[in-house]
């Protein structure tokens, strides 16, 4: 299809072509303006529409094409900061479609999906939390914005990635406040080729028998004990990190050294928790996990 054409080049030409058109253009008009034959252009238009870059509208016997809002040309890696600002602005304004369109535009503009999560989505999660803490938004609005962020992450999960069977990871949130960050982590690990088991908020599972419950789960999802199994726990409190660390360390003693534990949260200098990694930084956990897998080969 369209031998000699680069999809990204055509996207840029479409953005430029639609700058002076608010009433839409037909496929013939677009092909003439861009200089690509009509049949090839039609194939690209359908693909771009399926990706959310364009939309079409039937008016009589004519199909008109429109550029979805928020589409523009980005130059990565220079534009991550620009995208972060736009993402938060669209999020706070409540323009969901523009939020999702911006993410898709970044993906198709050559941005690193993981860098979008780390440099765009994570800062937005923290910003929304700060807005709530400062009394600028209420609990209901905070939840609404968090749901929009969650849907943004689901866009990345639609990218077809074949996981490496030897890269296994369980992601746990020790409380509801950490659940969205744990979801972002799960998406990042998925994009990096991990076989991800995202458990989400497990605060309701805190009890004396949790280590047996976790051991039973691992027996099902990691039957061959091949490669490495990492368990990552996100928590806003030391208590949450401490409880899950104790449970997971108990399982490690029974299932072997191939299980590694990472805790993501704030821990006081005098606090002693047995773990392979403790860090407040999401990025540290991602990099450490890569190192653990490489050293396990």
Can you give the pLDDT at residue 70? 66
What's residue 232's pLDDT? Answer: 97
Domain count, the chain: 3
225 Ramachandran zone, left/alpha/beta (phi>0; psi -120 to 50): left
pLDDT value for 195: 96
Residues 260 and 223 placed together within one structural domain of the fold: yes
Q: How much is the pLDDT for 5?
A: 59
Answer whether 0.85 is exceeded by the pTM.
no
Tell me, yes or no, whether 108 and 172 share the same domain.
Answer: no
Do the domain assignments include residue 74?
Answer: no
Exposed / middle / buried, residue 297 (Cβ in 10 Å: 0-12, 13-18, 19+): exposed
pLDDT of residue 123: 96
Q: Last residue of a domain, which of 128, 157, 186? A: 157
Picking from 254, 258, 207, 192, the residue whose alpha carbon sits closest to that of residue 230 is: 258
Q: Which of 210, 202, 178 is nearest to 282 (CA)?
A: 178
Could you list the residue range(s) of the whole structural domain that residue 180 is in? 167-296
One domain, residues 92 and 146: yes
**CA dihedral (135, 140, 145, 150) positive or negative:** positive
| pLDDT tens sequence for the chain (297 residues) | 344 457 778 887 888 888 777 788 898 989 988 888 888 888 888 888 887 788 888 888 888 998 877 677 788 888 999 999 999 999 999 989 889 988 988 887 788 999 999 999 999 999 999 999 999 999 999 999 999 999 999 999 989 999 999 999 999 999 999 999 999 999 999 999 999 999 999 999 888 889 999 999 998 999 888 899 999 999 999 999 999 999 999 998 888 778 999 999 998 888 889 999 999 998 999 999 999 999 887
Residue 53 lies in a domain: yes
Q: Where is the domain boundary, 67, 96, 115?
A: 67
CB atoms within 10 A of CB 179: 21
Q: Does 265 share its domain with 287?
A: yes
The CATH number linked to 214 is 3.40.50.280
Q: Which of 17, 41, 67 is the last residue of a domain?
A: 67
Asked if residue 288 and residue 181 are part of one domain, the reply reads yes
Token reading at 161: 């990635």
């Amino acid at each position: 299809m369209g031998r000699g054409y680069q999809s990204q080049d055509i996207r840029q030409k479409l953005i430029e072509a639609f700058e002076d058109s608010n009433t839409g253009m037909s496929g013939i008009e677009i092909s003439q303006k861009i200089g690509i034959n009509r049949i090839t252009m039609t194939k690209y238009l359908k693909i771009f529409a399926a990706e959310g870059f364009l939309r079409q509208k039937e008016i009589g016997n004519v199909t008109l094409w429109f550029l979805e809002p928020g589409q523009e040309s980005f130059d990565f890696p220079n534009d991550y900061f620009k995208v972060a600002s736009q993402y938060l602005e669209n999020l706070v304004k409540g323009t969901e479609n523009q939020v999702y369109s911006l993410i898709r535009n970044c993906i198709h503009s050559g941005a690193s999906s993981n860098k979008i999560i780390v440099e765009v989505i994570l800062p937005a999660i923290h910003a929304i939390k700060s807005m709530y803490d400062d009394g600028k938004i209420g609990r209901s609005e905070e939840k609404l914005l968090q749901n929009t962020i969650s849907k943004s992450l689901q866009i990345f999960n639609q990218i077809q990635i074949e996981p490496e069977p030897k890269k296994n990871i369980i992601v746990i949130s020790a409380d509801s406040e950490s659940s969205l960050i744990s979801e972002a982590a799960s998406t990042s690990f998925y994009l990096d080729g991990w076989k991800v088991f995202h458990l989400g908020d497990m605060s309701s599972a805190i009890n004396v028998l949790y280590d047996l419950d976790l051991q039973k789960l691992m027996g099902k999802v990691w039957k061959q004990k091949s490669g490495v199994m990492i368990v990552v726990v996100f928590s806003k409190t030391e208590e949450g990190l401490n409880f899950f660390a104790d449970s997971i360390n108990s399982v490690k003693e029974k299932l072997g050294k191939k299980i590694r534990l990472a805790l993501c949260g704030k821990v006081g200098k005098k606090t002693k928790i047995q773990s392979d990694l403790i860090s407040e930084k999401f990025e540290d956990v991602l990099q450490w996990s890569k190192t653990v897998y490489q050293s396990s080969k």
